Amino acid sequence: MRHYLTFNGRSTHEFGIFISGESTYSAPERNVLSQEVAGRNGSLLIDMGNFKNISVKYPSYIVEDLPSRIRDFLNYAGSLIGYQRLEDTYHPYEFRMARFKTNPSIDTAGYMNRSGKFTLDFDCKPQRFLKSGEEAVELSAAGIILNRTNFPSKPFIKVYGTGTGSVGVGSETISITNLNGYMDIDCEIMDAYKGAVNCNSYVSFTDDIVLHPGDNNISFNGGITSIEITPRWYII
């Protein structure tokens, strides 16, 4: 099997580019500050509570028509702004959020340089998001969501109902007013909206809304009739 990656919905297979996954199994570095303290042996470690971005490199090759195919891919990848979804066939149940990092140095071969080897380099967020975490959990009554990973995730919550109510996630609460049909709440960026309408003035949070490893009690009350929680599970 020839392996390939998919970047923002387009496969390198379309460009005649195939990859090796030998450099895709490393983990990101935890963001820890080291501080020296006079009179104290060793360093004081200050954990910032997050992981740093990681460089993910794919040794790649094209077996024919290299000049046109690599040009087409570089024009495509270079036109994209910010983080994009990155998948590969070595990790079929995961995806990353990544930025195409550099133009590759190409080692050409064959008649008229028609084939070649190079490395595709991506600057990635530290999470390996699980595709299973994209599946919404529907609740019409209080329940439990089990986080089987070792890491807390910040879910996306769709709330249905009318009027005023609250959603409990573990020990934290989301209070909602002026609910009219539904409202979307992105707990990663603490943003609430309905379509293109900003609803932040109708929502308040006791603290960060997180699905911790293990069981998470979920409840709701008032005019809320049901909720959908997309958990966004990840590993590193």
Tens digits of residue pLDDT in 172-219: 999 999 999 999 999 999 999 999 999 999 999 999 999 999 999 999
136 & 122 share domain: no
The CATH number of residue 89's host domain is: 2.40.30.200
116 & 12 share domain: yes
Mean pLDDT for the chain overall: 95
Q: Given 103, 126, 149, which residue is the final one in a domain? A: 126
Rounded CA-CA distance 228/139 in Å is 6
**Residue 111 pLDDT greater than 70, yes or no:** no
Q: Given 126, 147, 163, which residue is the final one in a domain? A: 126
140 & 195 share domain: yes
116 & 151 share domain: no
50 & 118 share domain: yes
Q: Please check whether residue 10 is in contact with residue 67, taking contact to mean a CB–CB distance below 8 angstroms.
A: no
Candidate from 33-37, 105-109, 160-164 with smallest mean pLDDT: 105-109
135 & 222 share domain: yes
The secondary structure element, H or E, covering residue 107 is strand 107-109
pLDDT of residue 188: 96
Amino acid at 17: I
The C-alpha R_g of the chain, in whole angstroms, comes to 23
96 & 146 share domain: no
pLDDT of residue 110: 62
118-141 average pLDDT score: 97
**Residue 108 pLDDT greater than 80, yes or no:** no
pLDDT in tens, 40-90: 898 999 999 999 999 999 999 999 998 999 999 999 999 999 999 999 999
Domain total for the chain?
A: 2
61 & 118 share domain: yes
The three-state secondary structure class of 131 is helix
Query: Best-predicted range by mean pLDDT among 20-34, 99-113, 145-159?
Result: 145-159
Residue 12 tokens, joined: 């390198």
Candidate from 75-79, 113-117, 223-227 with smallest mean pLDDT: 113-117
121 & 177 share domain: no
Residue 39: partners with Cβ closer than 8 Å, 6 or more residues away: none
Q: Which residues span the domain enclosing 167?
A: 131-235
How many C-beta atoms lie closer than 10 Å to residue 156's C-beta?
Answer: 18
